[in-house]
Structure 1
Amino acid sequence: MIRVFIVDDQAMVRESFAALLDAQPGMAVVGTAGDGIGAQAGRRADVVLMDVRMPGVDGIEATRRLLAGPDPRPRVIILTTFHLDEYVHDALRAGASGFLLKDAPATELIRAVEVVAAGEALLSPAITKRLISVFAQHAPPRPAPDTLTPRELEILLAVAKGLSNAEIATALGRSELTVKTHVSRILTKLDLRDRAQAIVLAYETGLVTPTR
């Protein structure tokens, strides 16, 4: 059962999302909040849907506070009404696992919760492109990791380009299970929570060079 917590300052959005997700087999909405302070009640959920623009404590700061505590911690999907370039990097650095437009079809919302609950990153090509652009302008240098094997490094680079496990498996001629195992080892070695953080690290360390 995937436990979902919804944070949005619009009651209609909270209620409609809650009704949709509660009706799905294997999902249960365990609570809602109308602001970033109330979002802290979602600490024991598996996935938190977090509005980015809210009065007082916004979604970025609420995500940072929510994920600052000890494990287990939820995975956060940032909700927005439109693409906001300036929020992409800050949200990922705060620990968000992905982004979703509020007007996305119901099937996309359901799939997003499933994907993030499974430990995947939810970054569309458009969001990835914006992230690369941000790093091209503002990325601070960090030391590159030296604990990865050549194969793990190759897979990390593929993850940073936004490829799924299935796409990486096809490109490398390996099984999807093998790729999944490699990704899990990469996250463990680098002390990362999910693929979203792996993407951030790849750009911050210069393993992937942003291009305009």
Structure 2
Amino acid sequence: MSSSPIPVVLYGGDLLTRAGVMAHIGHQRGISLLLDRNRAADGPARGVALVLDDRLDAPSVTRLRKVTSDHAKRVVLVVDELDENRLNIVVEAGISAVVWRHQATPAGLVKAIQATARNEGNMPGDLLRRLLTHLERRAQGTALSTVATGRPTGRELNVLELVAHGLATKEIAEQLGYSERTIKGVLHDTMTRLHLRNRAHAVAYAIREGYM
């Protein structure tokens, strides 16, 4: 029996961009795409929000925070670039899936949507590095930058490398020959032991420290 399609609500973007997204991923198997203006008829927000927004000006930030709240932080944000202020907005909103507009292929968007629906992060490698620096800066040089002791174990690094390549928990388990529960346990233990916030932070830390 096939699983139900992931409900996805599209927010933002100009008419041409929205039409392009609808045309390219609106009929993808496993995705049920709906425009935000039609969501009211569908009841409360469900599934994943796909947000197209390069400006992130004051009005759009307000909308982004509302969308993030409505969708329980299950948001994929498509942007051209994030400066320090905009990165802070993304962090504060709890968004863990970002796709650069120039890399927003149909396959890439579907992959990000699927990861977000599983509550797994999905960020470009260059943004992961910046995110680590940003989080350490916010911690004012304490917890995130000084408490990590020792390096990740070999098994932890194997898992983190596959996370960095965008594999889902199930795919990592299949590739390494473990159960999904074991992979989740490895990630949880890594983040707990090294005082890291989430998967994206764990990958960024391993890259920054030269372990990957």
Q: Deviations over 1:110-169 (max 9, x none)?
A: 22222222332111211111112323433345598xxxxx99xx58x948x846567996
Query: For the Cα contact (< 8 Å) 1:92–1:196, is it kept in 2?
Result: no
List aligned pairs for 1:67-86, cutoff 5 A: 67-68=68-69, 73=72, 75-80=74-79, 82-86=80-84
TM-score normalized with structure 2 length: 0.62
Assess, with a 3 A threshold, how the Cα gap between structure 1 residues 184 and 62 changes in structure 2: closer, same or farther: farther
Query: For the Cα contact (< 8 Å) 1:44–1:74, is it kept in 2?
Result: no
Secondary structure of residue in 1 paired with 2:78: strand
Matched, 1:30 2:34: yes
Given candidates 15, 20, 23, the residue that maps to 1:16 is 20
List aligned pairs for 1:76-115, cutoff 5 A: 76-80=75-79, 82-86=80-84, 87-103=86-102, 104-115=104-115
Matched, 1:57 2:56: no
Cα distance in 1 between the residues matched to 2:15 and 2:122: 25
What's the offset of the Cα at 1:196? 7.9
Matched, 1:139 2:139: yes
Q: Point out where structure 1 has 5 or more consecutive residues left out of the alignment.
A: 145-149
Q: Normalized per residue, which structure has more helix?
A: 2
How many residue pairs align between the two structures? Answer: 188
Matching residue's letter, 2:8? V
TM-score normalized with structure 1 length: 0.62
Matching residue's letter, 1:26? G
Cα distance in 1 between the residues matched to 2:207 and 2:29: 42
Matching residue's letter, 2:131? L
Assess, with a 3 A threshold, how the Cα gap between structure 1 residues 76 and 42 changes in structure 2: closer, same or farther: farther
What's the offset of the Cα at 1:85? 3.4
Cα distance in 2 between the residues matched to 1:42 and 1:102: 29
Query: For the Cα contact (< 8 Å) 1:121–1:196, is it kept in 2?
Result: no
Equivalent in the alignment of 2:47: 46
Task: Give me the CA root mean square deviation.
Answer: 4.7
List aligned pairs for 1:193-212, cutoff 5 A: 197-200=198-201
Q: Percent identity?
A: 17
Assess, with a 3 A threshold, how the Cα gap between structure 1 residues 58 and 142 changes in structure 2: closer, same or farther: farther
Query: For the Cα contact (< 8 Å) 1:67–1:74, is it kept in 2?
Result: yes
Matching residue's letter, 2:63? A
Secondary structure of residue in 2 paired with 1:5: strand
Q: Point out where structure 2 has 5 or more consecutive residues left out of the alignment.
A: none
Equivalent in the alignment of 2:181: 181
What's the offset of the Cα at 1:24? 0.9
Secondary structure of residue in 1 paired with 2:72: coil
What's the offset of the Cα at 1:76? 0.3
What's the offset of the Cα at 1:42? 9.3
Q: Deviations over 1:79-103 (max 9, x none)?
A: 11x2213223431331212111223
What's the offset of the Cα at 1:8? 1.3
Given candidates 5, 9, 28, the residue that maps to 1:5 is 9
Cα distance in 2 between the residues matched to 1:6 and 1:84: 20
Query: For the Cα contact (< 8 Å) 1:5–1:42, is it kept in 2?
Result: no
Q: Deviations over 1:57-110 (max 9, x none)?
A: 224x434333436xx736101111x22132234313312121112232222222
Matching residue's letter, 2:100? L
Cα distance in 2 between the residues matched to 1:46 and 1:84: 25
Equivalent in the alignment of 1:120: 120
